[in-house]
C-alpha cells in the first residue's frame, strides 16, 4: 500500500488539475470577500511544503486581524481580479470625499432647492462620524452604531442615511467593494419603540423610578453597573461618552468631568459627537458620589472609569449595556424606555429645578439652546415657576 497523503492544514487545500498536476492553495477572508491564491513552487507531496503553507495562512490571518494586511506584499504576482481591486486607486477614497462629489452632483441635477438643501444637511450630519473612513473599510457595525446613537425618529434616520447609501452604491458600481454593508441592516430593529412613534420625545424617569433602577442594578450586577447608571442619571452624558470616560478626565478638586473622549464603532476616539461636545460637566452631588464609590473598583485597575462585571473589560459595544438595562427595568417593574432617557431625565430635572437653559445646553454638549427649548420646553416652564437652582434641588442631592 502507498503512503497516505498528508492532510493539509486548515485554510490550505490541494487542487488537482485534469493534466495531473497538483498545486497548494491558501484560502482566506478579507474585507468580507473570500480569496484563494496558488502557492507556486510548493509541492503538495512534501510535508514541509504543506506545513509552510499552513504557517503562511496563519501569518495572513494575523495580519488581517491586526489591520496590517497588504495583499501585494504577500502575493506580488497575484492574477486575482478581486485582489487587483484592492490596489485600485478607488480603494483609498474616503467616504467624506465621496460625499463631496455626491453633493456637487446633486446641485447640478434637477430638483427643488429644498431637496438639495436637505441632502446637503444629511451629508453634514453624517460627516463627523464617517468622513475619514475609507469607503472600502465601511462595515455594518459602523452603520449600526451610528443608528444606535441617534435620538430622532426612524423616518428621519432613514432619510439621513440616504447619502451613505448613495456612497455605497458608488463603491459597488466602481467595484471598490463587493458586498453592500446595508444588506442585513434592519433599521426598525435597531431603533427604540419611542423613535418609531414619537421620535426624540423626552420621556424621563421619576425620582422613584431612578431609585428602583439603581437599587436593582446593584442587586443584579453590583457596583459596576449601579455606579454607571447613577452617574448617567445625574450627569447627562451620552452613552458613547460614558463608555469613553477615563480617570484622567475626572477632576474632583475642580468638581468637573472633562468630556473629550468617546468610544464609537468599538474604537476609542479623542473627540465627541459635536465640537460643542468637548466640555466640562459640573458634578452634581449624586454624580460625584457615584464616581467616588467607583474609585475603589477601577481607579487602580485601569484607565476606564466604568467596566463590565465579571472582569470582561471596558464597555465598547452598546449591546454590553442594553441587555443589562432591559433586565434591570423588567426586574424592578419600571416601564421600558431606552437607556438614553437617563440623559433626558438629567436635562428635564435640571430645567424643572430652575436651571438656566443656556447652561443646560452647554452641560449636555449641544451647539446652542435651540435643541433644549424644542425638546424640553415644558420643563423650562416648570422651572420658571419653582425658581430653584438645580444643584440645590432634591434631584441632585
- Number of domains making up the chain: 3
23 shares its domain with 119: no
8 A C-beta contact, residue 138 and residue 146:
no
Identify whether 19 is part of a domain.
yes
Q: Which of 148, 176, 197 is the endpoint of a domain?
A: 197
Locate 352 and state its grid cell.
Answer: 424643572
What was the pLDDT predicted at 4? 58
For 283, the domain range is 207-396
Task: Look at the alpha carbons of 276, 342, 241, 92 in this order and tell me if their dihedral is positive or negative.
Answer: negative
Looking at residue 130, its pLDDT comes to 92
* Residues 188, 146 share a domain: yes
Residue 102 has a pLDDT of 87
Do residue 130 and residue 224 come from a single domain?
no
Q: Is the pTM of this model over 0.85?
A: no
Cell of 345: 431625565
Residues of the chain with pLDDT under 70: 1-5, 31-32, 67, 81-91, 110-112, 114, 151, 192-200, 265-266, 271-277, 381-397
Could you tell me if 212 and 304 lie in one domain? Answer: yes
Over residues 59-102, the pLDDT tens digits come to 998 888 776 777 878 888 887 766 665 655 456 788 998 898 88
Predicted confidence at residue 32, as pLDDT, reads 64
Q: Are residues 218 and 180 in the same domain?
A: no
The per-residue pLDDT for 1 is 46
- pLDDT value of position 304: 93
Q: What is the spatial distance between Cα 342 and Cα 225, in angstroms, rounded to a whole number?
A: 14
Q: What tens digit of pLDDT does each residue of 107-160 get?
A: 777 666 767 888 888 999 999 899 888 888 899 999 998 988 886 778 788 889
User: Would you say residue 69 lies in a domain?
Assistant: yes
CA distance 152 to 196: 9
Instruction: Tell whether 2 is covered by a domain.
Output: no
Inside any domain, residue 247: yes
Amino acid at each position: 500500500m502507498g503512503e497516505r497523503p498528508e492532510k493539509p492544514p486548515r485554510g490550505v487545500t490541494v487542487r488537482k488539475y485534469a493534466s495531473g498536476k497538483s498545486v497548494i492553495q491558501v484560502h482566506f477572508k478579507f474585507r468580507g470577500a473570500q480569496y484563494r491564491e496558488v502557492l507556486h513552487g510548493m509541492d503538495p507531496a512534501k510535508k514541509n511544503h504543506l506545513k509552510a503553507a499552513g504557517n503562511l495562512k496563519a501569518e495572513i490571518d494575523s495580519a488581517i486581524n491586526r489591520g496590517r494586511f497588504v495583499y501585494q506584499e504577500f502575493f506580488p504576482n497575484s492574477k486575482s481580479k478581486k485582489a487587483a481591486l484592492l490596489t485600485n486607486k478607488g480603494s483609498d477614497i474616503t467616504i467624506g470625499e465621496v460625499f463631496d462629489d455626491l453633493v456637487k452632483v446633486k446641485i447640478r441635477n434637477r430638483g427643488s432647492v429644498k431637496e438639495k438643501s436637505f441632502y446637503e444637511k444629511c451629508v453634514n450630519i453624517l460627516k463627523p462620524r464617517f468622513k475619514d473612513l475609507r469607503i472600502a473599510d465601511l462595515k455594518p457595525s459602523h452603520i449600526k452604531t451610528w443608528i444606535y446613537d441617534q435620538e430622532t425618529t426612524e423616518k428621519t434616520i432613514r432619510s439621513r442615511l440616504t447619502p451613505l447609501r448613495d456612497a455605497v452604491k458608488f463603491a459597488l458600481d466602481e467595484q471598490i467593494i463587493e458586498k453592500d454593508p446595508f444588506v442585513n441592516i434592519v433599521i426598525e430593529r435597531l431603533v427604540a419603540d419611542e423613535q418609531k412613534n414619537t421620535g426624540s420625545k423626552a420621556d424621563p424617569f421619576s425620582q422613584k423610578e431612578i431609585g428602583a433602577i439603581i437599587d436593582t442594578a446593584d442587586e443584579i450586577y453590583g457596583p459596576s453597573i449601579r455606579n454607571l447608571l447613577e452617574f448617567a442619571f445625574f450627569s447627562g452624558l451620552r452613552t458613547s461618552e460614558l463608555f469613553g470616560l477615563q480617570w484622567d478626565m475626572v477632576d474632583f478638586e475642580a468638581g468637573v468631568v472633562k468630556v473629550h473622549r468617546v468610544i464609537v464603532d468599538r474604537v476609542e476616539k479623542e473627540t465627541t459627537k459635536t465640537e460643542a461636545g468637548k466640555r466640562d460637566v459640573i458634578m452634581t452631588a449624586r454624580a460625584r458620589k457615584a464616581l467616588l464609590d467607583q474609585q475603589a473598583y477601577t481607579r487602580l485597575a485601569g484607565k476606564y472609569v466604568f467596566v463590565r462585571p465579571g472582569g470582561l473589560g471596558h464597555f465598547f459595544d452598546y449591546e454590553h449595556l442594553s441587555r443589562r438595562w432591559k433586565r434591570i427595568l423588567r426586574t424592578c417593574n419600571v416601564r421600558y424606555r431606552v437607556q438614553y432617557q437617563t440623559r433626558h431625565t438629567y436635562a428635564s430635572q435640571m430645567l424643572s429645578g430652575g436651571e438656566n437653559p443656556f447652561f443646560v445646553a452647554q452641560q449636555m454638549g449641544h451647539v446652542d439652546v435651540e435643541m433644549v427649548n424644542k425638546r424640553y420646553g415644558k420643563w423650562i416652564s416648570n422651572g420658571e415657576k419653582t425658581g430653584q437652582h438645580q444643584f440645590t434641588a432634591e434631584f441632585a442631592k
